[in-house]
């Protein structure tokens, strides 16, 4: 049985751009909402909600973040863009899996686990490198 973990915003996650940090906090909240759903028995509509939010996130947030990295001449801007492209492709895969499975519990767990990985490995390792340039 999968036990979802909960994530909390920490100061070391800041990019120094208030708008981006607020969007990252929203991603963490969405991650936690999905974890709570998995923990209490799961509703397929919860995956649908997460997929819709993630679609918005990749279409809007990624563009804003890439724009900030370019504006501040952040040295990881290209790495960031490439990671965004990989995540966007994962989202397409999740959407196809949702359509095929009707939103299985296994898909909910998969998305939850991969979002945890994204939050830690992308936000903490890549996005935070914007901080010294945005000050």
Q: Taking Cα atoms as reference points, which of 30, 28, 35, 54 lies closest to residue 108?
A: 35
What is the pTM (predicted TM-score) of this model?
A: 0.88
Domain of 41 in residue numbering reads as 17-134
CATH of the domain at 86: 1.20.120.50
Q: Is residue 90 part of a domain?
A: yes
What are the tens digits of pLDDT across the range 35-66? 998 988 878 888 888 889 888 888 889 999 99
CA gap 61, 55 in Å, rounded:
10
Q: Is residue 89 part of a domain?
A: yes
Instruction: Read off the tokens for 134.
Output: 């945005």
Q: Is residue 100 part of a domain?
A: yes
Q: Is residue 94 part of a domain?
A: yes
CA distances from 50 to 34, 66, 70, 79, 107 (A): 7, 22, 28, 25, 11
Q: Is residue 130 part of a domain?
A: yes
pLDDT of residue 119: 87
Q: At what angle do helices 62-71 and 77-101 cross, to 10 degrees?
A: 180
Count up the domains in the chain and report the number.
1
Q: Is residue 3 part of a domain?
A: no
């Amino acid at each position: 049985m999968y036990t979802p973990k909960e994530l909390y915003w920490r100061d070391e996650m800041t990019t120094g751009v208030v708008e981006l940090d607020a969007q990252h906090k929203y991603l963490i909240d969405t991650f936690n909402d999905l974890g709570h759903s998995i923990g209490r028995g799961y509703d397929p509509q919860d995956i649908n909600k997460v997929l819709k939010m993630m679609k918005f996130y990749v279409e809007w947030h990624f563009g804003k973040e890439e724009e900030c990295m370019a504006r501040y001449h952040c040295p990881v801007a290209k790495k960031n863009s490439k990671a965004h492209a990989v995540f966007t492709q994962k989202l397409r895969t999740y959407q196809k899996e949702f359509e095929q499975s009707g939103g299985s519990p296994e898909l909910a767990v998969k998305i939850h686990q991969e979002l945890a990985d994204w939050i830690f490995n992308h936000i903490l390792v890549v996005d935070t490198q914007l901080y010294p340039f945005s000050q």
